[in-house]
Amino acid sequence: MDDEKIRAAFEKEGITTDIKCPEAFAIAEKYGVSKTEVARYCNTHGVKIRACQLGCFK
């Protein structure tokens, strides 16, 4: 999934400046992308991941 598709998924889900870890997991599952892709997108676009579970996202 490319950045544009992840951006569209975030927009559809109402994610703008931050996301909670369970929300990131759910988006990855719902849109068929890896958690790593979601994390990479967040890191490169300044979206903060909050309430991280088990250090999956940094």
Per-residue pLDDT, averaged over 9-19, amounts to: 94
Determine, yes or no, domain membership for 58: no
pLDDT given for residue 14 in this prediction: 94
Q: What is the pTM of this model?
A: 0.82
Q: Using one digit for the tens of pLDDT, what is the confidence trace for 15-44?
A: 999 999 899 999 999 999 998 999 999 999
pLDDT given for residue 57 in this prediction: 57
Determine, yes or no, domain membership for 41: yes
pLDDT given for residue 2 in this prediction: 78
Count of the separate structural domains present in the chain: 1
Per the model's pLDDT, the better-predicted residue between 37 and 57 turns out to be: 37
Determine, yes or no, domain membership for 34: yes
Determine, yes or no, domain membership for 56: no
**Residues present in the chain in total:** 58
Distances (CA, A) of 4 to 8, 10, 14, 31, 50: 6, 10, 15, 13, 22
What letter does residue 47 receive in the DSSP assignment?
A: P
Segments forming the whole domain that contains residue 46: 3-50
pLDDT given for residue 4 in this prediction: 85
